[in-house]
């Protein structure tokens, strides 16, 4: 699992930063999931290794323009590509469906691929055999959601040599044993597959929270997450502005990560006011956050971060 930041500015783009969009690459499935799609996201695709045909799911946090103005353009370009494409599922708050339908109607855009729009509510958003996506409502000026992607645990390494030494015939039985099931051999022996497998490989988790001021829902959503992506629109020195606009400061983002016991924090969604030459620099926001939560990084456009697995927990003796 890899996350790549396609836009890290809040409100408007700058020369160095586009507005919000984060791509989650799932290499084992050749899929890309997008979180928000600000204006110019398809241009960021052209400057990256991603292909629009890889996009399978798009998760929208809220209806502010810097998070959705790139959505219609990206979808329209996918449709004009002329290549057969699997269905694209789009998840987001109320009015997202109406917004996209209006864009299609007034621009007379026809999509050559199937698309489904899902209106989300707090709780389960999507799940399959490998992943589960949940969301919760955050605190912003409009309805806004944070998303959590949780990878399911995977069975540990299956000891084939040991199975062969025990005289277990290869074939369908190995599949059952790999899944930790108990099988009965032709000679009457009962074998517990868990005794032939190493510790389960813990699933990884990613949490995306923007736009919001500090809130307990974000802490709960990010509980023990491997990577928390959290907005840090303002410096701690501009906290009053954050409260007025219901955005987070760098210290609020760090406090969420600390309270949630997250492994890593990556800050994004920075105000353009912290430009080179100004009194407060973006590096100052990083220093503020690291004073509270040391394992903090600052995102930049096209920064890619690998989400690593936690160490597996050794299984109890059987």
The residue-averaged pLDDT of 136-144 equals 97
* pLDDT classification of 89: cutoffs 50, 70, 90: very high
> Domain-by-domain residue ranges, the chain?
2-154+201-306, 160-196
Question: Is the pLDDT at 12 greater than 90, yes or no?
Answer: yes
Identify the pLDDT of residue 317: 38
The residue-averaged pLDDT of 182-206 equals 88
Rg over CA atoms, the chain: 22
Active-site annotation holds for 129: no
Question: Is the pLDDT at 316 greater than 80, yes or no?
Answer: no
Question: Is the pLDDT at 315 greater than 70, yes or no?
Answer: no
Question: Is the pLDDT at 205 greater than 90, yes or no?
Answer: yes
Least confident range of 104-108, 220-224, 270-274, 277-281: 277-281
Q: What is the 3-state secondary structure (H, E, C) of 15-49?
A: CCCCECEEEEEEHHHCEEEEECCCCCHHHHHHCCC
1 token code pair: 């699992």
Identify the pLDDT of residue 314: 54
Distance in angstroms (rounded) separating the CA atoms of residues 130 and 132: 7
Identify the pLDDT of residue 83: 57
For the whole model, what pTM was predicted? 0.88
* pLDDT classification of 39: cutoffs 50, 70, 90: very high
CATH of 2-154+201-306, one of 3.40.50.740, 3.20.20.80, 3.60.15.10, 3.40.50.720: 3.60.15.10
Question: Is the pLDDT at 203 greater than 60, yes or no?
Answer: yes
Are the C-beta atoms of residues 264 and 297 closer than 8 Å to each other? yes
The residue-averaged pLDDT of 85-104 equals 93
What long-range pairs does 240-243 form, CB within 8 A, spacing at least 24?
A: 242/213, 243/213
Q: What is the pLDDT of the chain when averaged over all its residues? A: 92
* pLDDT classification of 264: cutoffs 50, 70, 90: very high
Identify the pLDDT of residue 193: 86
Which residues, other chains included, contact 279 with Cβ-Cβ below 8 Å and sequence gap of 6+? none
Instruction: Check 36, 66, 211, 238 and give the catalytic one.
Output: 66
């Amino acid at each position: 699992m890899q996350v790549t930041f396609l836009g890290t500015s809040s409100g408007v783009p700058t020369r160095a930063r586009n507005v919000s969009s984060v791509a989650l690459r799932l290499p084992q499935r050749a899929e890309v999931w997008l979180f928000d799609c600000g204006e110019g996201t398809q241009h960021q695709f052209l400057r990256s290794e991603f292909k629009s045909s890889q996009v399978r799911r798009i998760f929208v946090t809220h209806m502010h323009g810097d998070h959705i103005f790139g959505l219609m353009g990206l979808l329209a370009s996918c449709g004009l590509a002329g290549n057969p494409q699997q269905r694209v599922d789009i998840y987001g708050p109320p009015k997202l469906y109406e917004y996209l339908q209006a864009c299609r109607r007034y621009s007379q855009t026809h999509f050559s691929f199937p698309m489904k729009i899902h209106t989300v509510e707090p709780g389960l958003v999507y799940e399959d055999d490998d992943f589960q996506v949940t969301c919760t409502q955050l605190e912003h000026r409009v309805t806004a959601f944070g998303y959590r992607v949780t990878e399911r645990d995977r069975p540990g390494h299956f000891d084939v040599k040991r199975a062969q030494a025990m005289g277990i015939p290869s074939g369908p039985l190995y599949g059952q044993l790999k899944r930790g099931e108990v099988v009965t051999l032709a000679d009457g022996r009962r074998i517990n597959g868990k005794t032939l497998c190493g510790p389960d490989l813990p699933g990884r988790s990613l949490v995306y929270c923007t736009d919001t001021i500090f809130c307990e829902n974000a802490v709960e959503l990010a509980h023990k997450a491997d990577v928390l992506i959290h907005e840090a629109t303002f410096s701690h020195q501009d906290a009053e502005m954050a409260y007025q606009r219901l955005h987070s400061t760098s210290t609020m983002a760090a406090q969420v990560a600390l309270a949630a016991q997250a492994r890593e924090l990556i800050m994004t969604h920075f105000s353009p006011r912290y430009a080179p030459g100004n009194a407060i620099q973006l590096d100052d926001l990083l220093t503020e956050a690291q004073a509270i939560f040391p394992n903090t990084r600052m995102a930049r456009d096209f920064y890619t971060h690998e989400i690593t697995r936690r160490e597996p927990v050794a299984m109890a003796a059987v």
